[in-house]
């Protein structure tokens, strides 16, 4: 494999990872709004001893973070900011065992999402990212693109 094709493959791999993580985050945020409803999500968070604001911040973080990742906008920052949410989800499911198919969902899937967010935060956006075509790249190169 040539250096050029290797770079292209890495770029496409980073894009695929970013889009996958963004899709999952966005879907979970929208599910909290449309399926569980915002009041239902707040009640669930409160039943775990968390304040209502944690539910609102989680919904916002999943929707905004997922959308930013899908678009490739401030990719590293968006991925980094979702890590605390995903660690919280891992904690919330930690009492249910390892396998996510367990009753109440185990912690394997949220832990995987933490790992993916860390990788995206380190690796960057890959190809086809909005940040690649905006002036933000030159203003904030450490968070803008790979």
For residue range 76-129, what is the model confidence (pLDDT) as tens digits?
999 999 999 999 999 999 999 999 888 888 999 999 999 999 999 999 998 888
Where are the chain's structural domains?
3-144
Q: How many other C-beta atoms can be found within 10 angstroms of the C-beta atom of residue 112?
A: 14
Question: Is the Cβ–Cβ distance between 75 and 125 less than 8 Å?
Answer: yes
Distance between CA 146 and CA 132 in Å, rounded? 9
| pLDDT tens-digit map of 4-60 | 667 788 889 999 999 999 999 999 999 999 999 999 999 999 999 999 999 999 999
Output the 3-class SS for 52-70: HHHHHHHHHHHHHHHHHHH
DSSP per residue, 72-131 = TSSHHHHHHHHHHHHHHHHHHHGGG-S-TTSTT--SHHHHHHHHHHHHHHHH---SS-GG
pLDDT score, position 142: 47
**For residue 145, what pLDDT is reported?**
43
Q: How confident is the model at residue 135 (pLDDT cuts 50, 70, 90)?
A: low
Q: Which long-range contacts (CB under 8 A, 24 or more apart) does 79-87 make?
A: 79/18, 79/21, 79/117, 79/118, 79/120, 79/121, 80/117, 80/121, 82/21, 82/25, 82/117, 83/114, 83/117, 83/118, 83/121, 85/57, 85/58, 85/61, 86/110, 86/113, 86/114, 86/117, 87/114
Read off the pTM: 0.84
pLDDT at 146 over 50: no
């Amino acid at each position: 494999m040539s250096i050029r094709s290797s770079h292209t493959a890495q770029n496409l791999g980073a894009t695929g990872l970013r889009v996958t993580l963004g899709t999952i985050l966005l879907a979970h945020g929208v599910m909290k709004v449309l399926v569980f409803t915002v009041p239902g999500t707040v009640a669930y968070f409160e039943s775990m001893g968390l304040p209502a604001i944690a539910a609102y911040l989680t919904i916002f973080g999943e929707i905004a973070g997922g959308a930013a990742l899908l678009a490739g906008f401030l990719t590293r920052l968006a991925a980094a900011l979702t890590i605390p949410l995903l660690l919280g989800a891992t904690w919330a499911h930690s009492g249910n065992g390892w396998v996510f198919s367990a009753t109440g969902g185990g912690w394997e899937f949220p832990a995987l999402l933490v790992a993916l967010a860390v990788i995206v935060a380190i690796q960057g956006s890959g190809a086809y990212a909005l940040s690649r075509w905006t002036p933000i790249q030159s203003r904030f190169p450490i968070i803008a693109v790979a």
